[in-house]
Chain A
Amino acid sequence: MGVYKDYFLSNFPKGGAEDILRYVHSAYLNNWKFLRVQELQFGPSKNVFPYNLNAHIDSNLLALNNKYPGLKATSKINEARNWRYTLISYENIRLTASNVDSPTTAPRDSSFRNYFASCQYRWDVNNGNLEPCQLTKIGDSLIYGLVIHSPATDNPILPAFIHIAFPNQSCSGYLDRINLFKEYPSLLESLRKEEMEQIPDKSEVKLHIQEGLL
């Protein structure tokens, strides 16, 4: 497929997608530090783990607001007024973050996600183009991406994956995706090495030639 991915990468501000990877990754580490500071035991900490993680991710993503001209990141409240989420907007692109079990798992049902997904541009298989969504007025169609992620099973401190996945109009599956780990491998490597004490090579020997030894 690739049309949503191509559209996103060629229209979204350069550096924005890398920032998303950076912010989500650091949210995982911050979440863990936060839980450790609370001195919660392993068992009970599992209950609050996903909620804290979502809060850390949505907080971090707010840092994108106005970082690039035209890019907005704002905290929104859902229809039931019991949940806040961060909405990233740039022209006709919208992004929200979701914790899912696997890269192919659809996010939990929610009215705001369903709404954005219903406005998703359609991909015309025949001509290979993106066509405006017929359910919405022309001009209201969106490229909607979900920043999906999940803790690694063997080491939940780190994300197993971070994708920008483009859901279908019913938000029950994905039409296309950008695997941010694969898209930005050097950034991922630097994030993983960030905490490493890099030892510079200073073990030099200086030549001093004594007379008579030549």
Chain B
Amino acid sequence: MKGTPGFVGERLKEAREARGLTTIALADLLNITKQAISLYELGDMSPQPDMMQEIAYKLNLPIAFFLRPIKHNSNNAVFFRALSAANKSDRGRGRSRMRWLYEIVVPYLRQFVTFPEVNIPEVGNMANPLRLTDDDIENIATQVRRQWGLGDGPISNVVLLMENNGFIITRMDLESPTLDAFSNFPMLFGNTPYIILGNDKQSAVRSRFDAGHELGHLILHRSIKDSDLNKTTDFKIIEQQANRFSSAFLVPMNKFSEDFSLPTLNAFRALKSKWLVSIALLIKRAYDLGFISDEHYRKLWIYYNHKGWRKEEPLDNELPIEQPLLLRRAFASIIEAKIRTPEQLLSELPLSSKDVEDLIHLPEGYFNPSPPEIKLKFVPLSNTDCKSAVEEAERIIKRKS
């Protein structure tokens, strides 16, 4: 059996996971057995050229993708926001997209452009981050702010701040109710931190918190390996630490204590427009910092739920969602300088146009603009016209029956 020369089985697994398919689902799509898929993925068998075509077609990827060797990253953990609730399929899809971002898209763009220098604070010995206390995390969050030249006020744009400091960020539909964001620091790929933010929940304040949470992971948990995340207790601590970091980074204690006036929902609502974080976060923050009593805290949550704010808080639809700019700018610079046309760029990336649009955060349909929409024109009819139209319709129905 000749198969497809240069076929890389791991790419098939990656592509399958990126599309959220199980081996059985892919086998069904291709009309082959689950065992055949496993053999392909393990590299024990190479698909025949016609099967290769079929695989590429069904997974909406060019054949070149499946021939691209994999450069193995060290097993630095990919952190998924809301991982505890995320199922294996969602995680697999996220992991693949993250990999495509740092292994395919960014190295390709780096041939033409230089991204901002990475400026990540070194914050003490992180050999055992699980031992960090809340006070440690508060201090680290302050150190990060200072290194980035910030005081203790609200941050106007968290995504821009991180991009200024060399983070590569994109935003896309994660197509999962259980995933908000994920991040990785793949050492083998330019020592650059990567974050993918979800587009699904459409809440500016929630997304800012997600960005802060991922920043927490990338600063506090760089030494954590994927295997460490399997221990439930450790995993919980890691998530709580990232949450604490995000809160401390977005709402520093000193300034918040000056701003905090009344422990009422209306007061928290007013602070939301200043701090650009959720009311829920502010309530939790006030409690964590000892500004409100247990009883007040409990009552606030009762009122909060009663108002239906758990589903949607005031201002959620008014505050604009922060958009990453860096990757789009890189792409636009290459096009504007006429180094590549968009079509050339797409043909050189072994991904589908939709994948490239998603990963670079380009507008949907950028590469394949849909044909002009045919609009039906509404022509008002007179009563006589209407009557005759109805009669005509009745005649047709009678004929058909």
Contacts and interface: CB of A to CB of B under 8 A. Distances in A.
Interface stretch (B151-159, B171-179, B300-308): B151-159
Size category, A interface: 20 to 34
A155 interface: yes
Of A153, A157, A199, chain B has the most CB atoms within 10 Å of the CB of: A199
Nearest to B322: A199
Contacts of B267: 154-155
Contacts of A196: 153-156
A44 to B, nearest CB: 14
Interface string B269-303: 11100100000000000000000000000000000
B376 interface: no
Contacts of B153: 195-197
A134 to B, nearest CB: 47
A72 B3 CA distance: 93
B370 interface: no
Interface in A144-159: 152-158
A109 B153 CA distance: 40
A200 B165 CA distance: 12
B164 A36 contact: no
A203 B163 contact: yes
B69 interface: no
Contact of A205 (B114, B154, B259, B269): B114
A209 B330 CA distance: 12
B346 interface: no
B86 interface: no
Interface in B241-264: 255, 257-259, 261-264
Given A154-B269, A155-B261, A214-B339, A204 B160 contact: no
Among A152, A153, A196, which residue has the most Cβ atoms of chain B within 10 A?
A: A196
B151 A202 contact: no
A202 B269 CA distance: 31
Interface string B114-146: 111000000000000000000000000000000
B366 interface: no
A208 interface: yes
B331 to A, nearest CB: 9
B120 to A, nearest CB: 15
Contact of B156 (A156, A199, A213): A199
Given A32-B258, A199-B157, 16 more contacts: A36-B258, A154-B267, A158-B270, A192-B274, A196-B156, A197-B150, A197-B156, A199-B164, A200-B164, A201-B164, A205-B113, A206-B114, A207-B112, A208-B112, A213-B112, A213-B339
Nearest first, the 3 A-B pairs at minimum CB distance are A155-B270, A154-B266, A203-B163
6 contacts: A153-B266, A196-B153, A199-B157, A201-B164, A205-B113, A208-B113
